Amino acid sequence: MGLRTYILKRIFYSIILVYFVITLNFFIFTMMPGDPVLILASQMPRREPEVIQTIIETFGLDQPLHIRYGKYVISMLTGQFGVSYETKKPIIGEVGLRLQNTLVLVLPPEILATIVGLILGVIAVRKRGGLFDSASVITSLIAYSLPVFWIAMILILVFSINLNWFPAGHSIPDYWRYIPPQTIWEDWGTRLRHLILPWITLFLLSYGGHLLLARATMLECITEDYVVTARAKGLKERTVLFKHTLKNASLPIITSIAITFGFTLGGAIITEQVFTYPGLGWWIWDSIVNRDYPALQAIFYVIAICVIIANFMADLLYGVIDPRVKYG
């Protein structure tokens, strides 16, 4: 089987997987307890039967289940996510804005954590059994095990409240609603100051996992014959570690990175809650509290799509990174 055939096969499987995600998403929220109609009616001044009937007809809740299911599948595939129960605005616009905020929040620290974790993992393998190896493993385990809300609150206490170096939360200052920034440097600089503490929190939470995984996979390959042969040829230790050992130990690392990136696009719920950052994670929590089912359906659908795409890209990278992988 060639690469083109493999790609077409994976695309076909991904389409089937997307359909099952949509179906599962529909029935989960259909069977959830609580009546969203009563929630919407409680926000109105009148709760007469005609008001409730109008709400039911507006959201199509009076139609048979199979008709609602068919319309739901078409809506998800076309990006028509409906209207939020809470904000009364189209969900597609809300998703776009909050996804943009989430990308700015989670991608830079995750990319940096991946790079730093892999480099430190390689150095730990090179100095295995030494002080650096032991210190890196201990610090990684501590950082990886600490509750994310505790890390965030300590950073806020030290760098925001005590030192007053960075803001304690939000993505922009509250006073921008009345006095907008005058220059692009003021705009970017202020936004960056609001992102520093959340970035540090997510970095500390992520880099340890990448370090431990890189170290563990490389220790399994460090004694293989091709590594011994590379050293016997007189290659530099850096070349042996990065070009031979890390490359051949990279398959589980790629899988972990792909899954991590897929789920991080769904937002960092706890981090966004602590820093009151308006991303997808904060929206998930807010939608759960308010039982905003259409918003939750759209969010979970977007997260599932991101994970599917990330795994698809990882499968393609396997053959690029490791020539032993055959598309067959």
- Same-domain pairing of 97 and 32: no
- Same structural domain for residues 99 and 56? no
User: Where a domain ends, among 78, 107, 141?
Assistant: 78
Find out whether 32 and 297 touch, Cβ atoms under 8 Å: no
Q: Tell me: the pLDDT tens digits for 88-122?
A: 778 888 887 888 888 888 888 888 988 898 888 88
Is 327 part of any domain?
Answer: no
Say which CATH number the domain at 151 has. 1.10.3720.10
216 is a domain residue? yes
Residue 328 belongs to a domain: no
Number of domains in the chain: 2
Q: Are residues 144 and 167 in the same domain?
A: yes
Sole residue written with tokens 């053959």: 319
Among the three residues 78, 112, 139, which one is the final residue of a domain in this structure? 78
Give the end-to-end CA distance of the chain in Å, rounded to a whole number.
5
pTM of the shown model: 0.78
- Tokens 């890209």, located at residue: 313
Quote the CA–CA distance of 29 and 21 in Å, as a whole number: 12
Residue 326 lies in a domain: no
For residues 293 and 260, state if they share a domain: yes
Within 8 A by CB and 6+ apart from 19, the residues are 73
Domain that holds residue 50: 3-78
Residues in the chain: 328
The answer to whether the CB of 313 falls within 8 A of the CB of 255 is no
Residues 155 and 266 reside in one and the same domain: yes
Is the Cβ–Cβ distance between 109 and 192 less than 8 Å? no
Q: Does residue 54 sit in the same domain as residue 104?
A: no
Report the distance separating Cα 46 and Cα 189, nearest Å. Answer: 48
- Read off the pLDDT of residues 263-282 as tens digits, 9 standing for 90 and up: 676 657 788 888 888 888 88
Residue 291 backbone dihedrals phi, psi, to 5 degrees: 55, 45
Residue type, 93: G
Residues 43, 127 share a domain: no
Query: Tens place of pLDDT for every residue, the chain, 328 residues?
Result: 566 777 788 888 888 988 898 888 888 877 776 666 666 666 565 556 666 666 666 666 667 778 888 888 888 888 788 777 777 778 888 887 888 888 888 888 888 988 898 888 888 887 877 888 888 888 888 888 888 888 889 999 989 888 888 888 777 777 667 777 777 777 788 888 888 899 998 888 888 888 888 888 887 777 777 777 777 777 777 777 777 777 777 777 887 887 777 667 665 778 888 888 888 888 888 888 777 788 888 888 888 888 888 888 877 777 666 656 565 5
306 and 180 share a domain?
yes
* Residue where a domain terminates, one of 46, 78, 110: 78
Angle at CA of residue 222, ends 219 and 228, nearest 5°: 170
Looking at the structure, tell me whether residues 219 and 158 fall in a common domain.
Answer: yes
Q: Do residues 205 and 144 make contact, with C-beta atoms less than 8 angstroms apart?
A: yes
Closest CA to 104 of 260, 285, 268: 268
- Check whether residue 308 and residue 276 sit in a common domain: yes
